[in-house]
Amino acid sequence: MINLFQPSLGDDELALIKNIFASNWLGKGTVVKDFESGFAQSLASNSNRFLSTTSCTEAIFLSTKLFNFSKGDEIIVPAISFPSIGSAIIESGSTIVFCDVDKHSLNVRAKDIQKVISDKTKAIYITHYGGIPCEMDEIIKLCNQHKILVIEDSACAVRSFYKGQACGTIGDMGMWSFDAMKTLSTADGGMMFIKDTYKRIEAEESLYLGLPIKSKSGLDSSSDNASNWWEFEMNRTGRRAIMNNVTAAMGLSQLSKLDDFIEKRKNIFERYTKELENIGDIRLPPTPEFEYTSSYYFFWIQTEHRDELAKFLLDKGVYTTFRYWPLDKIKLFSEYAIEDYPNSDYAASYTLNIPLHQSLSDEDVNLIIVSIRDFYEQL
C-alpha cells in the first residue's frame, strides 16, 4: 500500500539515540535545548520564544490556559480544523464559534472571520491548510482592530513562510507537530512559539509541574550541600508534558535533513500539478497571489467523483483520504454549528488528499498519476 504519509527515519536517528542511551540521561536536557534552538534558527526566529512539548495538541490545550479562556469568551474556529482545537475550547469553558473557509484552498480568510466577530470574541485559531499560508496581513489587521488573539495551528506548516516570516510566528502563539506522520518526525512531539516572553515563562512552568524554571533538581541541590534538598516550591498548577532527549535527538537528525525532505515534496507536488492538469473535472490546489513558501504537506484535488476515485485508488494499492472532516459535522461540536458553512461543505464533498511525502519513489508517483488517468478514461 502506498501511504498518504510516511516518516523518513533510519541509521542517523538511531546513532543519536544510541548516544542518549549511553549518557544515561533520557529525560529533558541539553539535547532538547539544542533542538529548540535549532528549530528556531531554521525559521530565522528568536529561540527564546520557542518551547518544545509532547505534541501539537498539548500546545493547543496550553494556549487556552495561557490566554485565560473562560465562560463567556467566544473563540473563532474555521470549520475545517483539527479536532483538538474544538476539544481544548470546550474544556476551557469558552464557546466555539465556527466560520467558513475558502472552498478551494480550505484556508480561512479575513472576510470569513469578519462575519462572526462579536464583542465576546477573544481569539481565533488559524490553520495553514496543507502548508500553504493563510492571508495573514488581512487577518492580523482585522484581529488587531478588534483586539482578537491570533493562534496559528502550523502542524502542517513546519517550514512554511508568509512574505518571509515563518508561519507559526506571525500571531500571538503558534504550534507545530512532529508526530509520526509529519515531515519532521520525532515519533511524537511538538513545538510552540509564544510572542509574549512572560507567557513563555508561564508555559514552561506549566509544562513541568508548575515548578519555577530556574529550580535545580534534587540531585543538583544535594551536590551543592543544600539541606533538605527534597523540598521544593511551585509557582502555579502544572502537568508533565515535556520533550525528552531521545525524541529531541531524533528531531536534530531530522532537522538536518528537512531542506532535502521539503525539496523532494516540492518536486512531487509540482509533478502532480503538471500531470494532473486538465484531467477530467479535477481541480488542483490554488496558488496564492502573495509571496509564500510552502512545506508541501498536503496535495489535494477536488472532483465530483471523489468517493468513486478514492475506492478505485484503494483497489490499486493507493491510500487516500480527506483531511479534515469539518468540526461542525462532528456530534461533539454540532451544537456550536448555528449556521451553514457552504464552502466547508463543498470541500468535504469533493476534496481528496493523495499521497505526498519524501519517501515516495518515482514508481509510486507514476502509479498514482497513471491510476488517476485510468479512472477518468473509464468514466
Is 19 domain-assigned? yes
Is 1 domain-assigned? no
- CA–CA gap between residue 147 and residue 113 (Å, rounded): 13
Instruction: Locate 125 and state its grid cell.
Output: 485559531
- CA–CA gap between residue 18 and residue 21 (Å, rounded): 5
- CA–CA gap between residue 159 and residue 240 (Å, rounded): 27
The reported pLDDT for the residue numbered 232 is 83
Is 6 domain-assigned? no
pTM of this prediction?
0.96
Is 356 domain-assigned? yes
The reported pLDDT for the residue numbered 92 is 98
Q: Residue 171 in contact with residue 149, Cβ under 8 Å?
A: yes
The reported pLDDT for the residue numbered 79 is 98
The reported pLDDT for the residue numbered 38 is 98
Nearest Cα residue to 128 out of 109, 166, 102, 154: 154
The reported pLDDT for the residue numbered 225 is 65
The reported pLDDT for the residue numbered 221 is 59
Q: How many domains does the chain have?
A: 1
77 is in which domain, residue-wise?
11-378
Amino acid at 42: S
Is 5 domain-assigned? no
Instruction: Per residue of the chain (379 residues), give pLDDT as tens.
Output: 999 999 999 999 999 999 999 999 999 999 999 999 999 999 999 999 999 999 999 999 999 999 999 999 999 999 999 999 999 999 999 999 999 999 999 999 999 999 999 999 999 999 999 999 999 999 999 999 999 999 999 999 999 999 999 999 999 999 999 999 999 999 999 999 999 999 999 999 999 999 998 765 656 655 666 677 778 888 899 999 999 999 999 999 999 999 999 999 999 999 999 999 999 999 999 999 999 999 999 999 999 999 999 999 999 999 999 999 999 999 999 999 999 999 999 999 999 999 999 999 999 999 999 999 999 999 9
The reported pLDDT for the residue numbered 77 is 98
Is 196 domain-assigned? yes
Is 60 domain-assigned? yes
Local structure of residue 156 (DSSP, 8 states): T
pLDDT one-digit tens code per residue, 217-242: 656 655 666 677 778 888 899 999 99
Is 3 domain-assigned? no
- Type and span of the H or E element at 123: strand 121-127
- CA–CA gap between residue 323 and residue 352 (Å, rounded): 8
The reported pLDDT for the residue numbered 354 is 98
Instruction: Locate 236 and state its grid cell.
Output: 502555579
The reported pLDDT for the residue numbered 147 is 98
CATH assignment at residue 155: 3.40.640.10
User: How are strands ordered across the β-sheet holding 165-166?
Assistant: 165-166, 161-162, 292-293
Three-class secondary structure of residue 153 per DSSP = strand
